[in-house]
Amino acid sequence: MTAAIDFYFDFSSPYGYLAAQAIDDVGARHGIDVAWRPFLLGAVFKITGAQPLPHTPLKDKYAAIDMPRAARLLGVPFTVPEAFPFLSVAACRAYYWLAEDDPARSRDFAKTVFHGAFGEGRDMSVAESVIEEAAKLGVDRETLAAALEEPAVKDRLRREVEAAIERGVFGSPFFFLDDEPFWGHDRLDQVDRWLETGGW
Amino acid sequence: MTAAIDFYFDFSSPYGYLAAQAIDDVGARHGIDVAWRPFLLGAVFKITGAQPLPHTPLKDKYAAIDMPRAARLLGVPFTVPEAFPFLSVAACRAYYWLAEDDPARSRDFAKTVFHGAFGEGRDMSVAESVIEEAAKLGVDRETLAAALEEPAVKDRLRREVEAAIERGVFGSPFFFLDDEPFWGHDRLDQVDRWLETGGW
C-alpha cells in the first residue's frame, strides 16, 4: 500500500493550481496525507530546455484554450494574472518557513496564494502580496518579512528545489506515490486508481 | 453537435500509438467518423523548439515509466523500437496515397504500422517495412514503392504537415472536434465528454 503522496508544484503553474483543487480529496479518499512541495520550475527548465507556456509557439495558443476549459470542467474559478509566468520565490520561501511550525497552516497558505494568482488574477510574485496572504491566516507580517530574508530560509528552498530535481521532477504538477512518478494534473485519475489498486 | 473528429499523430509517437487504440471506439460511441491525419512531429518541433522525449533530460526517464504504464492500463502491448524516435516520412506518404482510393484500408494500414513499431518494436522508418505492412493488406509492392517517390505523393504529405501546423497542431496525438483542440492521449476522456455534452 502507498504510504505517501508528494505533490510538487510551482505557484506560477496554472495546471499546478488545478491539481491543488483536487489532490487533497484524492488523498482523503484513500486515507493518505498529501505533502505539498512547492518548487521553482525555472530551475528545472534550465535542465530540460523547456520554456514557459507563453513563450512556446503554438502551445501558447492551445494553453489559452485548454487551461480555462479544464478549470470549467472542475468548476473552479480561473484567470491568468497579467504578469505570467511569475517568480514564486517569495511564496515558496514563506511556504517552507510556515511548514516548519505548522504544516496545516502552510497548506492553507499555499491554497490562498494559488487562489490569489489564478482565482483572482493578482500578482503573487512580490513579497508584499505573499505577506498579505499570510497575514490573513494570522501570521505576523514583520516576522515573515524578516524570515524571507534569512539565509536559512533561502537555503531551505534551495535544498527543496535540488531535491525535487534529484528525484526527477520536471514539470508542475508532479506527484510521487512513494517512488512512482506521475506528471500533470491529467494524471490525477491514474493517481487515484494507483492508490485504489496498489498499481498495475 | 460535433460534425468531425480529426486525429493527428506521428507514427513515431508512442502516445499517438496509445490514442490510436482508443479513438475509433470514442468516435463510434458517438456515431462520428474519425479522420486519421498522420503528420511529421519533427517539422513542428522546429517551430516550438521542443525535443523528442529521449533527448530531454528528466522527461526521458519519466517517459520510460509513463508510456508502458499507460499501455498496461489500456491492456495493449507496448515496446519501444531500438531506433526511436524514427522518421515516419515513408509511412505518412504511403498512408495518404492509400487514403486517396480507400480510406478504410489506409486506416488499417496506419494501425498495422503502429502495431509494428510499438506493439512489436520493429523498425518502421524504412520504406521496405512500410511496403511490407501494406502488402499484408493486399497492396501491390511495386506500385507502392513507385508511389513513394512520386512528386505528387511527396507534395501531399508536405501540404498535410503545413495544414496541421497552420491549424495549431504541436504534439502527438492531437485532436480537433470541429475547431476545438485537444492535445494528448490523456485528453481522450475530455474528448469523449465533449462529444457527449456538446462542450462546457
What are the grid coordinates assigned to B166, written together?
A: 497552420
8 Å CB contact of B169 and A58: yes
Confidence at A1, pLDDT banded by 50, 70, 90: confident
Is some CB atom of chain A closer than 8 A to the CB atom of B49? yes
Of A47, A72, A186, the CB nearest to B200: A72
Q: What is the DSSP letter of A38?
A: E
Q: What is the C-alpha separation between A139 and A160, in angstroms, rounded? A: 23
Q: Which residue has the higher pLDDT, A179 or B51?
A: A179
- Matching residue, cell 494574472: A81
Confidence at B1, pLDDT banded by 50, 70, 90: confident
- Provide the pLDDT for residue B33: 94
8 Å CB contact of A168 and B193: no
Q: What is the mean pLDDT of chain A?
A: 96
Length of chain A in terms of residues written: 200
3-state secondary structure of A199: coil
- Matching residue, cell 499523430: B9
DSSP string, A154-197: HHHHHHHHHHHHHHT--SSSEEEETTEEEESGGGHHHHHHHHHH
Confidence at B163, pLDDT banded by 50, 70, 90: very high
Is some CB atom of chain B closer than 8 A to the CB atom of A46? no
Confidence at B53, pLDDT banded by 50, 70, 90: confident
Which residues are bridge partners to B35 per DSSP?
A: B6
Q: Which of A41, A148, A35, A155 lies closest to A99 in space, CA to CA?
A: A35
CA B164 to chain centre: 12
Contact residues on chain A for B39, CB-CB shorter than 8 A: none
DSSP string, chain B: ----EEEEE-TT-HHHHHHHTTHHHHHHHTT--EEEEE--HHHHHHHH----GGGSTTHHHHHHHHHHHHHHHHT------SS-S---HHHHHHHHHHHHH-HHHHHHHHHHHHIIIIIT----SSHHHHHHHHHHTT--HHHHHHHTT-HHHHHHHHHHHHHHHHHT--SSSEEEETTEEEESGGGHHHHHHHHHHS--
Which pairing describes strands A34-38 and A5-9: parallel, antiparallel, or unpaired? parallel
- Provide the pLDDT for residue A50: 85
Residues 96-125 of B with CB under 8 A from A: none
Mutate: best of B47, B53, B58, partner A, most A CBs <10 A: B58
Contact B23, B192 (CB under 8 A): no
Q: Which residue of A has its CA nearest to B58?
A: A168
Q: What is the C-alpha separation between B2 and B177, in angstroms, rounded? A: 6
> Which pLDDT tens digit goes with each residue over B13-45?
999 999 999 999 999 999 999 999 999 999 999
Q: What is the C-alpha separation between B131 and B87, in angstroms, rounded? A: 15
Is some CB atom of chain B closer than 8 A to the CB atom of A59? yes
Q: What is the C-alpha separation between A166 and B164, in angstroms, rounded? A: 37
- Matching residue, cell 494534473: A185
Contact residues on chain A for B48, CB-CB shorter than 8 A: 56-59
Confidence at B7, pLDDT banded by 50, 70, 90: very high
What are the grid coordinates assigned to A151, written together?
A: 539565509
Q: Is the pTM of this model over 0.90?
A: yes
To 5 degrees, how large is the angle CA A117–CA A119–CA A123? 20
> Which pLDDT tens digit goes with each residue over A148-197?
999 999 999 999 999 999 999 999 999 999 999 999 999 999 999 999 99
pLDDT average, residue stretch A74-101 = 96
Contact B23, B7 (CB under 8 A): yes
Q: What percent of chain B has pLDDT over 70?
A: 100
* CA of A54 vs chain B CAs: smallest distance (Å): 11
Is some CB atom of chain A closer than 8 A to the CB atom of B45? no
Contact residues on chain A for B169, CB-CB shorter than 8 A: 58
> Residue A53: pLDDT above 90?
no
Amino acid present at B16: G
Interface A-B: count of C-beta contacts within 8 A: 77
Contact residues on chain A for B72, CB-CB shorter than 8 A: 200
Q: What is the DSSP letter of A137?
A: T
Is some CB atom of chain A closer than 8 A to the CB atom of B193? yes
> Residue A48: pLDDT above 90?
no
* CA of B31 vs chain A CAs: smallest distance (Å): 24
8 Å CB contact of B190 and A57: no
> Residue A56: pLDDT above 90?
no
Torsion angle (degrees, nearest 10) of CA B121, B126, B128, B132: 40
Residues 127-166 of A with CB under 8 A from B: 165
Q: Is the dihedral of CA A130, A135, A140, A142 positive or negative?
A: positive
